[in-house]
């Protein structure tokens, strides 16, 4: 994903790649990080496109035909270091040769001038994988050993002149690619059905080889699922097929399931909740933020949504219904109605006591709002100002009365301009009488105006 002025953001998972322990691979703890690197074109290549290609020497003659690749398991993704080549098809002379640095992505690959001692017999070192032999056509199993998917291809990313293994391809498209039928299939599907067959990848960071030769295993065990960040777990669930996705989701506790739903693609949200028992679904949705719950219920079939609302606690259901009454791309549909509001005579001590008691049920705590008896918005105080103020100070003396607010019908584009202009973390929403009805956290707006940066 390329951002500003030649910088490219790359996300990695520290210690997320397997280290060998006997014949198995184990997963150390996860740490997620982000770094900015010089932008380079993101070029992908598949193993099926490489196998069978000649490796060309400096004189333009083939050194041998590539029959497999060796990768060293390193962070963040395994790096291809050698090619297993067939130097003489008649004699079946198989040797390992250093894989060339890739100046540009073009087949066949061109080696340098390999010396005689650059070639070695097939003997893997520690933390090395023979990719075709170890991964292709292997079954991926779930944490209970049930077969889930088959690896049809491997996808590499060219970065820093090396090929990095980033995905296993478990889709039908990968199978067609290996058979040489991908382009023909695309033409036929588009001509007759106006349909494009999607890719189906699983990130390498979620897959590990195990001791059984023909199996791969997802790196996540049931008792560790809840310890992952919800966004990471949402990625795992989205990579699974519908049956396994449902099984993993239903194994989670209510709070974790709610957090995952908030990070998951809306279509997958619907698929997970649609066939779930209404009572269980209502418990999960009650744990979601009000705005996220309203978005999800708005996407569900009407009878399913109404059934869930009837099972929910009445006060939560009423708040959600209020949000459902507004279009999603207007202020009323973007806001959450869970707002911290106080009379002007409230002291800092009283406000902080209330915040401590209600924080668990709030979607957003960065500002508190000061209102009169008719709930008309008078001003706001940031949480930082509250913490720095004397306990006996009144909110009326601390508040900023130059409040930037929007009306219920305000369009998302106008709201985005206000966020950008004033650098706010949230904007209150008021009705025609100036009464506060809710607040729009910046995250809610981001998911509408830039969905590729928020939920997928």
pLDDT band for position 448 (50/70/90)? Answer: low
Query: Three-state SS for 197?
Result: coil
Q: How far is it, in rounded angstroms, from Cα 299 to Cα 296?
A: 5
pLDDT at 252: 74
Quick: pLDDT tens for 132-146. Answer: 988 888 877 654 444
Over the stretch 284-297, which tens digit does the pLDDT of each residue have?
999 888 888 888 89
Q: What is the mean pLDDT of the chain?
A: 77
What is the model's pLDDT at position 3?
31
Q: Which residues contact 373 (CB under 8 A, 6 or more apart)?
A: 343
In which band, very low, low, confident or very high, does the pLDDT at 47 lie, cut at 50, 70 and 90? Answer: very high
- The predicted structure's pLDDT at residue 227: 53
- Looking at per-residue pLDDT, the higher value among 93 and 167 belongs to 167
Tokens of 217: 């295993």
Statement: residue 29 has pLDDT above 60 = no
Residue 213 above 70 pLDDT?
Answer: no
pLDDT > 90: percent of the chain? 19
Instruction: Report how far residue 133's alpha carbon sits from residue 67's, in angstroms, rounded to the nearest whole number.
Output: 10
Q: What percent of the chain is modeled with pLDDT above 70?
A: 75
Q: Which of 190, 208, 151, 148 is nearest to 174 (CA)?
A: 151
What secondary structure, in 3-state letters, does 223-288 show?
HHHCCCCHHHHHHHHHHCCHHHHHHHHHCCCHHHHHHHHHHCCHHHHHHHHHCCCHHHHHHHHHCC
CA distance 242 to 2: 31
Sorted by where each starts, the structural domains of the chain and their CATH numbers stand as 42-211 (no CATH), 222-325 (1.25.60.10), 341-449 (3.10.580.10)
DSSP conformation class of 366? S
Q: Please state whether the predicted TM-score (pTM) of the whole model is above 0.75.
A: no
SS3 40: coil
Tell me, what's the pLDDT at 12? 36
- CA–CA distance, 76 with 166 (Å, rounded to integer): 9
Place of tokens 């090929």: 163
- Of the segments 53-57, 310-314, 445-449, which one has the largest average pLDDT value? 310-314
Region 302-316: what's the mean pLDDT?
A: 90
How many residues in total does the chain contain?
456
**Backbone phi, psi, residue 237, to 5°:** -65, -40
């Amino acid at each position: 994903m390329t951002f500003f002025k030649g910088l490219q953001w790359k996300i990695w998972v520290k210690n997320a790649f397997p280290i060998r322990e006997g014949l198995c691979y184990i997963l150390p703890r996860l740490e997620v990080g982000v770094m900015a690197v010089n932008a380079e074109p993101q070029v992908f290549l598949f193993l099926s496109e490489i196998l069978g290609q000649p490796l060309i020497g400096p004189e333009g003659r083939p050194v041998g035909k590539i029959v497999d690749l060796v990768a060293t398991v390193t962070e963040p993704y395994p790096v291809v270091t050698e090619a297993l080549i067939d130097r003489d098809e008649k004699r079946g002379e198989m040797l390992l040769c250093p894989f060339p640095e890739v100046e540009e992505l073009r087949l066949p690959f061109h080696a340098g001038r390999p010396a005689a001692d650059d070639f070695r017999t097939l003997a893997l070192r520690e933390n090395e994988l023979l990719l075709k032999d170890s991964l292709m056509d292997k079954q991926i199993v779930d944490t209970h050993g049930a077969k889930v998917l088959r690896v049809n291809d491997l996808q590499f990313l060219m970065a820093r002149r090396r090929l990095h293994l980033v995905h296993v391809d478990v889709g039908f498209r990968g199978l067609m690619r290996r058979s040489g039928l991908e382009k023909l299939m695309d033409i036929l599907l588009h001509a007759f059905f106006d349909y494009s067959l999607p890719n189906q990848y699983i990130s390498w960071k979620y897959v590990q080889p195990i001791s059984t030769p023909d199996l791969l295993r997802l790196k996540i065990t049931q008792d560790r699922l809840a310890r992952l960040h919800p966004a990471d777990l949402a990625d795992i669930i989205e990579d699974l097929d519908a049956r396994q996705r449902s099984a993993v989701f239903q194994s989670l506790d209510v709070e974790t399931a709610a957090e995952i739903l908030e990070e998951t693609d809306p279509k997958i949200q619907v698929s997970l909740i649609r066939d779930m028992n209404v009572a269980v679904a209502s418990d999960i949705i009650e744990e979601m933020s009000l705005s996220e719950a309203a978005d999800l219920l708005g996407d569900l079939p009407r009878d399913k949504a109404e059934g869930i609302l009837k099972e929910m606690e009445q006060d939560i259901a009423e708040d959600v219904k209020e949000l459902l009454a507004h279009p999603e791309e207007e202020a009323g549909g973007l806001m959450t109605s869970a707002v911290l509001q106080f009379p002007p005579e409230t002291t800092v001590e009283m406000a902080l006591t209330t915040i401590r008691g209600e924080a668990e049920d709030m979607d957003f705590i960065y500002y508190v709002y000061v209102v009169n008896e008719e709930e008309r918005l008078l001003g706001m105080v940031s949480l930082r100002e509250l913490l720095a103020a004397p306990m006996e100070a009144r909110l009326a003396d601390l508040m900023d009365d130059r409040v930037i607010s929007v009306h219920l019908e305000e369009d998302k584009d106008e709201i985005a301009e206000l966020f950008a202009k004033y650098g706010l973390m949230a904007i209150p929403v008021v009705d025609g009488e100036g009464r506060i009805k809710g607040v729009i956290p910046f995250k809610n707006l981001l998911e509408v105006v830039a969905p590729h940066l928020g939920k997928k």
